Structure 1
């Protein structure tokens, strides 16, 4: 209650219960009794679509991950070493990790306490970490390829590959499983000597020891966890040179080498075409990884795009379509890999651009008119927005189906946004924008707001109202230059 001026406040009286509690507390301090520790809690960075992923309080600079492969029906033995920097004082911190058993955790060489909370590994170091300090975390764990239907390890006919998009990297190794926290990666993989191991980046060593061989790879650029790739199998590695001497290596099932070589040989031409559109390829090497697996998708894992074998062997897929899909995944190396989304709501910047260059390639190389594809997309756009949300504000994943954020609205629905933008500002300004975007944000992350701001700067127009309508509104705006285009009504 408020104090009354002029009145003397009553003298407080301490109850016997309160006095007894204080006495017990003092006694506990005197004898060194430990205070009860709070329960471990899962924490994330609060992404609108995946709020529990990512880890607040620190930034990861590098991963060094070792795997020992024992076969598809057994967990891999693994050690993940993380180099990080504390963004604030840390008494404890979280790593994203599930689908494996943790044996021990060390922080700066000292054993640390750890516990699990949902899909997090909560680590309490022996010595608190100061803000701005660099620290090393070593986690000894297993990585289980069994029951991996939610992504992560994918079992193939002769081994394993990774498919971590969007949120499955932490089903393979502990870390910060969000594209906003990119880091450099080193992989060491030990497997039976009759198998071949390939991973992101360039090889740094190979050593045979009796019945096994150990392989090492390192990335030359930072990478998001969703883009990590390790392939273990009976594979043939085909090498060649791309534009300006770029090292190329394609990984295919050894038994299909001859059959698939006509497709892998197309990669240098794809690279040359993309470089004419947006500038120099951003990484140290490139290639395609063709796996004997049925995933239902292809995936732009960094420097080594993952494809299903069936895409190339099923006669139902016309050649022009396969060619364009290969360009789609290649385009992601610029859009999504080198320039990564700051949040998952920025996904349209990845998939919209990859779809755009896929469609543009099909027009230029196979005579499939871009305008026809965009007109069909316009007709469906309102339905896609109703089902999945507008391109830059897609709906949250369906419970139990986290990959469901990859809806039509982020593919052709988002390419349609780019088409509208080109119609608005003209092809020359649009081409300058694309080059400026990938050059200005190379090896970094960027947002939708960054793209809108750059588009306005390059074009000399305030595009914020125009692009807000195309990116965030429930109904598709009128298409510049095509006043007769109409959206179809959603079936009842």
Structure 2
């Protein structure tokens, strides 16, 4: 054995032994969080993830764990003796920090890594985790099994059920995906644009690589694997569009896919240029009960496009809703999950505006109906910017009516309060000033006040935090039905 190899092996063994000693003499690993009001144990303090590189090896069996390697490039915000990553469900076989073996332990839904030496504040560090990624079939997010493969649905707190990460929208990062498939009829697609495709001479396995050109929140990551066709076209300003559909559905769904360029032009006419490198529709063979704005490749149930009983205006409204999220929610992500109203309220707002513009279905009437039910929604789940925690074991119960039409109602009231011109300036300024970052309700209140040239704190305090819906500007005759439960207590969902 060459001397240099012996030295490297000895160094690795000493590093592993040293890490084990540190782990044995330090306090027991504990799960951490950044203190999100709704998900207090989500995210981790002390570092900022700059980039993820995620390699997934898919055997063709969507019930079997995938072999995976996740590499995180991060910057320490403080001196780190331990590094907590959000990760649940998979099996970890090894961890390295900057190329050296590191001790690791599980604590709740955290993977707690103890490097050989502390990572100093402001230092860059690389964490490499070899693990499995498990599609359990549970209806709680992460991997979702399709009729012929897998897709991701990570919102709100399920990305860490797929890969180790800092699973909070306030820590966005660049992503590279490398997906290996071992059957010739399978196609793998991910968020971002393709950068490489390689076929193994040894066994014919195909590895497709994708990379984002803008930062992405973990909850918005998408990987699709299945017997799919990738349909390409061009959008406004030469934007590359790609849709992913089951090969057998391609002709049936094409009339809907062909509408995306028009949807993009409509959105751009209101809030400015589309903020990402590509866009597309992923029509998956799943029954989830929702669509999802996964970045650059929005997830939809295929039946949305194949069920003849669904009216055309409704299908397009859902498509525009998920597209609008790419400005509101994807480019400008919520700082905390209690800021969700900014994402869902705006997506609902533009969905409703589009429907009125194209079909004449009245926005005012929709908002009047929302106002009538607003007090009930606030009682059932809290006001728009102070939602109650989701029910235990039912994280998706966070997505209540108050964050959709109940929050679009806030925007309707704001437009009436400050006027159409100021409102339009505010919308463009919001997605421009906070592009590719995270922003809070307080940021929106400040920008709205600056745009309107007057303090709107009192207006927003009532509309966003009160249990009773304020009077609608310009519509003193509008009334809201009383909550079914006396005292305004929130009903359990």
Say yes or no: TM over 0.5: yes
1:34 offset after TM fit, Å? 9.7
Q: Where do residues 129-148 of structure 1 align in structure 2 (5 Å cutoff)?
A: 129-148=119-138
1:167 to 157, 165, 175: 157
Residues 174 and 214, structure 2, Cα contact 8 Å, conserved in 1: yes
Deviates more, 1:146-155 or 1:397-406: 146-155
Match of 1:233 in 2: 226
Residues 452/33 of structure 1: CA separation in 2 closer, same or farther (3 Å cut): closer
Asked if 1:196 corresponds to 2:192, the answer is no
1:316 offset after TM fit, Å? 2.7
Match of 1:58 in 2: 47
SS in 1 for 2:413: helix
1:218 offset after TM fit, Å? 0.1
Q: Where do residues 73-152 of structure 1 align in structure 2 (5 Å cutoff)?
A: 73-152=63-142
Asked if 1:42 corresponds to 2:35, the answer is no
Alignment partners' CA distance in 2, 1:276 and 1:36: 61
- TM-score scaled by structure 2? 0.92
Match of 1:270 in 2: 263
Alignment partners' CA distance in 2, 1:36 and 1:354: 51
Asked if 1:421 corresponds to 2:407, the answer is no
Instruction: Give unmatched runs, 5+ long, in structure 1.
Output: 1-31
Residues 34/422 of structure 1: CA separation in 2 closer, same or farther (3 Å cut): closer
Match of 1:328 in 2: 321
Superposed CA deviations along residues 375-403 of structure 1, whole A, max 9, x for unmatched, are 00000000000001000000001011011
Residues 33/132 of structure 1: CA separation in 2 closer, same or farther (3 Å cut): closer
Residues 193 and 208, structure 1, Cα contact 8 Å, conserved in 2: no
SS in 2 for 1:461: coil
Alignment partners' CA distance in 2, 1:41 and 1:264: 47
1:73 offset after TM fit, Å? 1.6
Asked if 1:205 corresponds to 2:196, the answer is yes
Aligned length: 461
Alignment partners' CA distance in 2, 1:69 and 1:411: 36
Alignment partners' CA distance in 1, 2:329 and 2:264: 16
Match of 1:17 in 2: none
SS in 2 for 1:62: strand
Residues 180 and 341, structure 1, Cα contact 8 Å, conserved in 2: yes
RMSD (CA atoms)? 1.2
SS in 2 for 1:359: helix
SS in 2 for 1:205: strand
Alignment partners' CA distance in 2, 1:36 and 1:106: 20
Alignment partners' CA distance in 1, 2:479 and 2:26: 61
Superposed CA deviations along residues 75-111 of structure 1, whole A, max 9, x for unmatched, are 0000000000101111111000001000000000000
Superposed CA deviations along residues 273-315 of structure 1, whole A, max 9, x for unmatched, are 0000000000000001000000110000000000001111112
1:474 offset after TM fit, Å? 0.4
1:223 to 208, 211, 216: 216
Match of 2:342 in 1: 349
Superposed CA deviations along residues 5-33 of structure 1, whole A, max 9, x for unmatched, are xxxxxxxxxxxxxxxxxxxxxxxxxxx99
Alignment partners' CA distance in 2, 1:231 and 1:60: 24
Superposed CA deviations along residues 150-207 of structure 1, whole A, max 9, x for unmatched, are 1000000010000000000000000100000000000000012210011000000111
Q: Where do residues 383-462 of structure 1 align in structure 2 (5 Å cutoff)?
A: 383-462=376-455
Asked if 1:180 corresponds to 2:205, the answer is no
Alignment partners' CA distance in 1, 2:95 and 2:457: 48
SS in 1 for 2:377: helix
Alignment partners' CA distance in 2, 1:408 and 1:375: 14
Runs ≥4 in structure 1, deviation > 4 angstroms? 32-35
Match of 1:258 in 2: 251
Alignment partners' CA distance in 1, 2:320 and 2:266: 9
Superposed CA deviations along residues 202-257 of structure 1, whole A, max 9, x for unmatched, are 00011122332110000000000000000000001110000010000000111110
1:489 offset after TM fit, Å? 2.1
Residues 33/140 of structure 1: CA separation in 2 closer, same or farther (3 Å cut): closer
Alignment partners' CA distance in 2, 1:37 and 1:347: 38
Residues 72 and 146, structure 1, Cα contact 8 Å, conserved in 2: no
Residues 63 and 137, structure 2, Cα contact 8 Å, conserved in 1: no
1:35 offset after TM fit, Å? 6.8
SS in 2 for 1:364: helix
Residues 86/234 of structure 1: CA separation in 2 closer, same or farther (3 Å cut): same
Residues 70 and 163, structure 2, Cα contact 8 Å, conserved in 1: yes
Asked if 1:214 corresponds to 2:184, the answer is no
